[in-house]
Amino acid sequence: MSDQGPYCEYRMTVRVELPNQPGHFARLATIIAEEGANLGAIDLADARSDKTVRDITFDAQSECHAQRVVARLRTLQYVRVLSASDRIFLLHLGGKINTRSKVHLRTRNALSMAYTPGVARVSLAIAKDTSKAYAFTSKGNSVAVVTDGSAILGLGDLGPEAALPVMEGKVMLLKEFADIDGWPLCLGTHDVETIVRVVEAIAPTFGGINLEDISAPRCFEIEERLKKLLDIPVMHDDQHGTAIVVLAALLNALKVVGKELGRVKIVVNGLGAAGTACCRILLAAGVRSLIGCDRQGAVLRVIDDNLNEAQRDLRSCIHFDEPILTLRDALESADVLIGLSAANVLTSEDLRVMVEDRIVFAMANPDPEIPADVAAPLCRILATGRSDYPNQVNNLLAFLGIFRGALDVRAREINEPMKLAAAHAIASLVQDEHLSEELIVPSVFDKRVVRTVAQAVASAAHESGVARCRTRNGSGP
């Protein structure tokens, strides 16, 4: 890992014991400065006549850099390093989520109503009409966040235990931004059949299923089979959440450059889960000229001749072992490049073969397909997946409002009209007078996002016939 980069900041807190004599702390501070770390807070934890215990906080450039600083501190004579804590690990200590009771059990009467014998009446009512589970349990506001740990962030297959902190984070987002109760389920299997059976078996507990960090191509089959088996919304966020925000950002980017969606040539580089979903939603939104590239080059071309076929079954039109063009060839005269692949696979010369007013979404994380400082001078609009550059394409803008809207109307599924409605809702939050090359999507902290997307998704669910009620509390047909 490089010690440089705008995103590489690690804050460490080191507890040290040193003699209570002048000069010892100064030597410690000098070492921190010599190692290129930034000294931060200094807290006195204990003071005695012969020694002091202090908590020293410093910022390092990377994990390796932080460890190097701590190792150097351990070499100081008369100084004892008692502990060294990374702020990220401290934040995760004991996990990031828990459950809370909505009922206070302070009396025998309250206990008898919330649990036995009173709860039996509720169980019998639900047994007669299972739809009452939405009214009398947490089902209607609960989403299972399911993974097998096979594609954790950009780190690959790390296993279900390593996936748990990420899934806890997803649950935090659901609660914090959308008031949805999420439950992390990290499965100890990569077998498609087993995953489908497990999720099908636990589905009665939940109002929706959010599939997360499952590697391609298994994720496609898992999602499709569960959508057919279950009567609750199922969405693989890595696919559709990303695709929805890409479409929203593109709609606004095209406004800025004065072009129309149906008249531009788009190249998508990377045909994994997110890339394939992006192609699908772009075609559904009205794109008529699309080339998809993977490691071998261009393996998908959609124009008027095969547009209908691609809209019906996109993956049947992708021939991974039969490239028809190189990536550079595909970019000739392209208006838009959407990157969902890997770091540093593009050069400035690749971008120069595109037409003027280039729109480039370089979304590989943590490093984009081409360094932002190289791409920016060549593009009219540049977007990435990172928060330290303008125009962050972040699926947080999509999935929270989608599930909120789907749960509110007890939708049977999340369909294409609901996804398109979500994309248009996100785009609408940046008003025309505020649109610019560096502002094509709203902030993830914009409090309007979840509400606006949820309302659009709920309306689309009603219009497409998959809603089962009108309001969040379940009233109405």
- Closest C-alpha among 314, 328, 229 to residue 280: 314
Number of residues that this document lists for the chain: 477
Q: Look up residue 309 and give its amino acid.
A: E
Round the CA-based radius of gyration of the chain to a whole number and report it. Answer: 26
What span, in angstroms and rounded, lies between the C-alpha atoms of 358 and 352? 9
Residue 42 β-bridge partners: 56
C-alpha separations of 108 from 56, 64, 105, 116 in Å? 51, 56, 8, 11
Give the chain's end-to-end CA distance (angstroms, integer). Answer: 56
Q: Which amino acids are annotated catalytic?
A: 115, 170
